[in-house]
């Protein structure tokens, strides 16, 4: 299973790199779809169907909206110019990347291997969730009972996003 996931991850990285370098923006959007749908297969292989359902539906709708936006505006990427400022940006980006890689390599020593869990909290959740919440689906039991505060925040974030889009986009119709 590790080999399969590694192959899908390599495929996703290739799609992401192609999305950055594609000249046509429509093919860049389709290449971003490779990343999303590859992630769906990874979630299914890691036995997380809840996340896979959310990811596949959100990915499809995002792809529809992004294709509509690209078809409605320009399909050509803006030409990048190379001057002193871009050299500075590249150096800054490389320093940030090196710093993140250093801390990642420090942290990866303490991580468990993929799929195993040794945390005390997750043991308590897995063993006691059905009696405490009454929900057979453990994920729903966690997100609507143990972590219901987080879920309330997520719902409010989505509501605020919709309000923001309405406020930003519908100014013209209100005159």
Partner 1 sequence: MEGMSVIIKKVTQLLAGLIFVYGIYIILHGHLTPGGGFAGGVIIAGAFILLILAFGSSELNLKTEVSGSSGTESLAILLVVILALMSLLLGAKVFIVNFLPKGLPGELLSAGVIPLYNLFVGVEVAGAILTIFLALVIFKEESST
Q: What is the DSSP letter of 116?
A: -
Q: From the list 17, 123, 130, 153, which residue makes contact with partner 1 (rule: CB under 8 A)?
A: 130
Contact mark string toward partner 1, 55..94, x via CB under 8 A: --xx-xx--xx--xx--x----------------------
| 22/48 with CB nearer partner 1 | 48
Q: From the list 50, 87, 99, 100, which residue makes contact with partner 1 (rule: CB under 8 A)?
A: 50
Distance CA 26, CA 46 (A): 31
CB atoms within 10 A of CB 52: 18
Helix (H) or strand (E) holding 124: helix 120-133
Q: What is the DSSP letter of 111?
A: S
Residues 132-151 that bind partner 1 (CB under 8 A): 133-137, 139-141, 143-145, 148-149, 151
Q: How far is the CB of 80 from partner 1 (least distance, A)?
A: 27
Distance CA 151, CA 56 (A): 20
| 27/151 with CB nearer partner 1 | 151
Select from 72, 86, 93, 62 the least CA-distant residue to 25.
Answer: 72
Number of residues that bind partner 1 (CB under 8 A): 44
């Amino acid at each position: 299973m590790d080999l399969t996931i590694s192959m899908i991850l390599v495929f996703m990285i290739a799609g992401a790199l192609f999305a950055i370098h594609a000249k046509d923006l429509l093919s860049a959007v389709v290449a971003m779809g490779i990343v999303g749908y590859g992630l769906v297969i990874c979630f299914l292989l890691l036995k997380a169907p809840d996340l896979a359902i959310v990811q596949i539906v959100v990915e499809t709708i995002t792809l529809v909206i992004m294709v509509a936006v690209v078809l409605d505006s320009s399909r050509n990427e803006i030409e990048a110019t190379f001057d002193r400022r871009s050299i500075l940006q590249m150096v800054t980006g490389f320093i940030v990347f090196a710093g993140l890689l250093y801390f990642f390599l420090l942290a990866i020593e303490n991580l468990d291997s993929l799929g195993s869990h040794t945390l005390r909290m997750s043991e308590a959740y897995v063993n006691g969730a059905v009696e405490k919440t009454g929900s057979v689906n453990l994920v729903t039991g966690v997100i609507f009972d143990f972590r219901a505060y987080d879920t309330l925040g997520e719902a409010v974030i989505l509501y605020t996003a919709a309000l923001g889009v309405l406020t930003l986009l519908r100014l013209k119709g209100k005159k």
